[in-house]
């Protein structure tokens, strides 16, 4: 079942798992949707055990990460028509390397501030999150994950 030996031993951080929904896997990163409905907010998590900083990735993975940031940004822009894309690798609280890719609007809950510590998180209502996830899957040509790492095998 393992078609990606470089991902061996990698598991999604439990806080990231709690705060997001899994959309699918790009060649390097798991693509997640934040549960905060204030923003159309993706997270890219390189499936590399122990990676905390971008400098922990080798040159090839860094190049792939940039390519996947580009793809996720274009997908969000295309789906949402946002005014700005915010991209960040912070990781002061959750150490596992993860890159935020966030669609921002002039009228959103935090504009023009960065999203962190700016507005209380808001839950998605109805099928909005599912619709957005389906649109991202379509733009990125992703297969849905069959199961999530930690609870069995991943597609």
Is 85 near a copy of itself (CB under 8 A)? yes
CB atoms < 10 A from the CB of 27, how many?
11
3 touching a copy of itself, by CB under 8 A: no
CA distances to 62, 64, 111 from 59, in Å = 5, 9, 34
- The answer to whether 21 touches 10, Cβ cutoff 8 Å, is no
Q: Could you say whether residue 80 binds a copy of itself (CB under 8 A)?
A: no
User: For residues 84 and 122, which CB has a smaller minimum distance to a copy of itself in the complex?
Assistant: 84
Return the residues of window 96-155 that contact a copy of itself according to CB under 8 A.
104, 111-114, 116-118
Q: Interface with a copy of itself includes 88 (CB under 8 A)? A: yes
Spatial CB neighbours of 16, under 8 Å, sequence gap ≥ 6: 32, 43, 45, 94, 96, 98
The piece of 31-39, 79-87, 122-130, 140-148 that touches a copy of itself (CB under 8 A) is: 79-87
């Amino acid at each position: 079942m393992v078609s990606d030996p470089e991902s061996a031993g990698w598991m999604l951080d439990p806080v990231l798992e709690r705060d997001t929904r899994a959309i699918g896997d790009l060649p390097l990163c798991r693509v997640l949707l934040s549960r905060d409905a204030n923003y159309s907010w993706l997270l890219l998590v390189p499936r590399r055990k122990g990676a905390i900083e971008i400098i922990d990735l080798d040159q090839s993975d860094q190049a792939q990460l940039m390519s996947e940031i580009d793809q996720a940004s274009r997908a969000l822009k295309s789906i949402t028509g946002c005014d700005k894309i915010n991209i960040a690798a912070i990781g002061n609280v959750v150490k596992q390397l993860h890159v935020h890719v966030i669609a921002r609007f002039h009228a959103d809950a935090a504009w023009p501030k960065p999203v962190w510590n700016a507005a209380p998180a808001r839950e998605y209502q109805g099928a909005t999150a599912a619709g957005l996830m389906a649109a991202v899957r379509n733009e990125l040509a992703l297969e849905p994950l069959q199961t999530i790492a930690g609870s069995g095998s991943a597609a």
